[in-house]
């Protein structure tokens, strides 16, 4: 939760954690009261001796799943789902085993087996997991059990068990990928482990615990050389990761003791005094950087003064104590640390100066991103080219950096670079997303979302989709009283499987079917998650259109912007509620709803504020209220809706105006930065669907000075 925000929301990141991840843990899902009540309403459960002896066996009746002639419309195993779920919550393995038998070859037979095995995950033999994964091959629960098991065993250091199930994990998230890599890093396949090196080795931002563990243990991988170790050591010195510093320095033949690091932590000045009287040494170069890093943690300004003083002093010495490499990386530390304080202290081009002084040393992605962001903010186009050029090839090819490379080349006096800029814009303009829309405007292309009518889908595609076991499970769960998280997981998995098969016709058929049922968030997901598939009437539906248009006009705001906010906040799930209490289609916080009601002369009612009609009316009024407080600037107002108006103001330029794309790219909170991009993208599409097409550049405008 951002510190001063009134409105919380389901951002792409948050929303994905809740619904996009195909393998959320069942233990995170609360059992419904109704499910508990259902136990015993059908045939009584008798725990047989077979069940008691077979707790780590898979019920043999399921071996034929899913059958050669599926008839999913008549599948009855869904009727036992909630009962089995309740048994799983009670950790009643005997009952779960019986449900496996009762659900026969049905669509959901794997669920009680999964819940039973997952209850004792840490004690399972890997053979049981691989048996389950083989038996239910291709299902999301087969993937989930193997992935859960790999994580559990990696955390316990049982890497042999991880390796035995690794080939059953195909769609891993970051933590699971690191779990599998840990298994191979500690035996079997060093190459398979090293494949994650670009993701974890030089990362200093927060990452899953198993990824941090992998980076630490990768120090012993035979494919890691001393150049790699030194680069990681420099980053660990910057952030002060004591354990890694000790291990890496030992591997490099210059061991640094914990006591040396501890002394610097307590009294950096004492080390600097000693440093000036001691001969140049490799260890002292490392300890100097560690000292500057700890000083920068307390005050980057004091650290900067110290670095400048030390270098000036050193320049007067016949024998230099601070190597050129150390000087450069000391400035790198300052540049990175300065970028942490753009919200509290405001933006300052001193960060660019420090990054320039660090040129000559390799950048990791985070450092290059910070350098690029500072360059964008202050229109330092040559620095931006340098920053992008310091990224690896994969990063440079990302649309974000292709767009900004084109922006930098566009400013050049070199005609060849201007021509290259236009070529990049033309390539990006093939995409109907934030950077694609900006690129379209650069080359004068007009965007059209096409018809608001949903596409006609042949009945053959619909029938084929309904006979797909993954979609069949998703729709059966949606139509039942089961917790929606299970339906969402099955849906996401079904879309993935269709995507893997390049079956866009099935994806469109599923999206339209879900749309017609009112399952809009998953209908949207199906289109959004499939590259190159544009079906805007499905990906950008317009429910409650009369209310949205009417209340937006009453509030004096653009209905397309209101839809852009609503889609990003809730994906049109009216019951959506965030972890901090924001609720409804517009994700309004209770205190904000009270503020709105008071200003509208109404008595606050929580239930009414969360209802569709009132939530839309309150949300559009609040958008107008923020807009008025933020210079009637929609980009500022969008940032304010997410992070709070005060934060949006803090990110404004102090003097002069700033291009809106530069403001957005330099928003200090990644969540808000992404949020604003997605809302502007959404609003551009909705403006076309509503018949009032407004190019994104025109919509975003220019950001005025804040003072």
Q: Can you tell me whether residue 486 is helix, strand or coil?
A: helix
- pLDDT given for residue 45 in this prediction: 31
Q: What is the mean pLDDT of residues 312-335?
A: 97
pLDDT in tens, 454-491: 999 999 999 999 999 999 999 999 999 999 999 999 99
Mean pLDDT, rounded, for 374-393: 98
Query: Residue 38: pLDDT above 50?
Result: no
What tens digit of pLDDT does each residue of 404-442 get? 999 999 999 999 999 999 999 999 999 999 999 999 999
Residue 553: CB partners within 8 Å, gap ≥ 6? Answer: 559
In the prediction, which pLDDT does 575 show?
87
Which of residues 3 and 692 earns the better pLDDT score?
692
Centre a 10 Å sphere on the Cβ of residue 419 and count the other Cβ atoms it contains: 10
Write out the catalytic residue numbers: 569
Strand partners, 223: none
Handedness of CA 383, 386, 390, 393 (dihedral sign): positive
Model-level pTM?
Answer: 0.90
Q: How far apart are CA 212 and CA 296, in angstroms?
A: 23
Give the pLDDT band of residue 8 (cuts 50, 70, 90). very low
Q: What per-residue confidence (pLDDT) applies to 105?
A: 85
- Give backbone dihedrals phi and psi of 476, rounded to 5 degrees, phi first: -65, -40
How far apart are the C-alpha atoms of 499 and 529, rounded to whole Å? Answer: 9
Residue/partner pairs of 518-525 with CB below 8 Å, 24 or more apart: 519/478, 520/571, 520/572, 520/573, 521/19, 521/488, 521/571, 521/572, 521/573, 522/19, 522/474, 522/487, 522/488, 522/491, 522/492, 524/567, 524/571, 524/572, 525/19, 525/20, 525/491, 525/492, 525/495, 525/571
Angstrom CA distances, 80 to 74, 107, 117, 160, stand at 14, 11, 18, 36
The confidence score (pLDDT) of residue 70 equals 65
Query: Residue 524 and residue 535: Cα distance in Å, rounded?
Result: 9
Which two tokens mark 550? 């009417």
Q: Which of 28, 30, 12, 31 is nearest to 20 (CA)?
A: 12
Q: How buried is residue 336: exposed, middle or buried, by Cβ count under 10 Å (0-12/13-18/19+)? A: buried
Return contacts of 219-227, CB within 8 angstroms, 24+ apart.
219/244, 219/247, 219/248, 219/251, 220/185, 221/185, 221/190, 221/193, 221/194, 222/190, 223/190, 223/191, 223/194, 224/194, 224/197, 226/251, 226/252
* Rounded average pLDDT over 241-249: 98
Q: At which residue do the structure tokens 């103001």 appear?
A: 649
Q: How many residues does the chain have?
A: 707
Model confidence band, residue 582 (pLDDT cutoffs 50, 70, 90): confident
Tokens 């964008």 sit on residue? 376
């Amino acid at each position: 939760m951002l510190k001063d925000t009134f409105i919380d929301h389901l951002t792409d990141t948050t929303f994905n954690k809740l619904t996009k991840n195909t393998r959320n843990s069942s233990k995170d899902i609360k059992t419904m009261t109704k499910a508990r009540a259902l136990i015993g309403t059908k045939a009584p459960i008798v725990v047989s001796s077979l069940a008691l002896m077979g707790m780590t066996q898979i019920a043999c009746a399921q071996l034929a799943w899913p059958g050669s002639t599926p008839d999913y419309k008549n599948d009855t195993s869904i009727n036992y789902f909630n009962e089995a779920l309740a048994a799983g919550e009670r950790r009643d393995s005997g009952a779960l085993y019986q449900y496996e038998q009762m659900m026969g070859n049905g669509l959901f037979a794997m669920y009680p087996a999964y819940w039973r095995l997952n209850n004792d995950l840490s004690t399972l033999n890997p053979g049981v997991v691989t048996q389950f994964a083989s038996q239910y091959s291709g299902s999301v629960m087969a993937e989930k059990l193997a992935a859960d098991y790999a994580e559990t065993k990696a955390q316990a250091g049982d890497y042999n068990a991880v390796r035995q199930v690794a080939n059953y994990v195909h769609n891993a998230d970051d933590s699971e990928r690191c779990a599998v890599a840990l298994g191979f890093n500690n035996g079997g396949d060093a190459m398979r482990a090293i494949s994650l090196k670009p993701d974890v080795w030089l990362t200093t931002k927060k990452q899953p615990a198993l990824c941090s563990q992998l980076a630490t243990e990768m120090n012993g991988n035979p494919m890691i050389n001393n150049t790699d170790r030194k680069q990681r050591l420099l980053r660990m010195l910057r952030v002060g990761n004591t354990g890694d510093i000790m291990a890496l320095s030992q591997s490099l033949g210059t061991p640094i003791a914990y006591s040396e690091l501890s002394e610097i932590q307590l009294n950096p000045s004492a080390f600097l005094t000693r440093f000036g009287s001691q001969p140049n040494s490799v260890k002292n170069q490392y300890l100097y950087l560690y000292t500057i890093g700890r000083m920068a943690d307390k005050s980057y300004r004091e650290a900067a003064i110290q670095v400048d003083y030390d270098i000036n002093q050193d320049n007067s010495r016949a024998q230099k104590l601070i190597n050129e490499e150390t000087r450069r990386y000391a400035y790198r530390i300052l540049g990175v640390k300065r970028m942490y304080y753009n919200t509290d202290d405001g933006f300052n081009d001193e960060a660019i100066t420090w990054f320039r002084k660090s040129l000559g040393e390799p950048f990791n992605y985070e450092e290059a991103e910070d350098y690029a962001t500072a360059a964008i903010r202050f229109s330092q186009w040559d620095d931006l080219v340098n920053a992008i050029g310091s990224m690896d090839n994969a990063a440079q090819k990302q649309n974000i950096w292709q767009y900004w490379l084109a922006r930098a080349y566009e400013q050049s006096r070199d005609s060849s670079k201007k021509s290259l800029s236009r070529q990049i814009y033309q390539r990006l303009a093939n995409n109907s997303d934030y950077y694609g829309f900006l690129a379209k405007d650069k080359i004068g292309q007009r965007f059209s979302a096409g018809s608001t009518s949903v596409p006609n889908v042949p009945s053959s595609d619909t029938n084929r989709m309904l006979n797909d076991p993954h979609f069949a499970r998703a729709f059966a769960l949606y139509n039942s009283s089961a917790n929606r998280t299970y339906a969402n997981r099955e849906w996401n998995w079904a879309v993935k499987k269709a995507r893997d098969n390049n079956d866009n016709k099935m994806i469109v058929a599923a999206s339209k079917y879900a749309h017609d049922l009112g399952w809009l968030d998953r209908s949207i997901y199906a289109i959004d998650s499939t590259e190159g598939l544009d079906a805007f009437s499905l990906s950008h539906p317009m429910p409650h259109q009369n209310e949205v248009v009417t209340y937006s006009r009453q509030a004096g705001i653009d209905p397309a912007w209101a839809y852009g906010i609503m889609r990003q906040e809730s994906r049109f799930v009216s019951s959506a509620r965030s972890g901090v209490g924001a609720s409804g289609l517009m994700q309004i916080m209770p205190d904000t709803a009270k503020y709105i009601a008071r200003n509208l002369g109404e008595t606050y009612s929580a239930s009414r504020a969360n209802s569709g009609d009132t939530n839309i009316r309150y949300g559009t009024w609040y958008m107008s209220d923020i807009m008025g407080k933020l210079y009637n600037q929609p980009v500022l107002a969008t940032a304010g809706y997410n992070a709070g108006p005060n934060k949006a103001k803090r990110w404004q330029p102090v003097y002069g105006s700033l291009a809106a794309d530069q403001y957005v790219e330099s928003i200090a909170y990644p969540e808000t930065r992404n949020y604003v991009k997605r809302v502007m993208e959404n609003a551009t599409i909705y403006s076309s669907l509503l018949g009032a097409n407004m190019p994104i550049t025109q919509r975003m405008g220019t950001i005025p000075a804040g003072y």
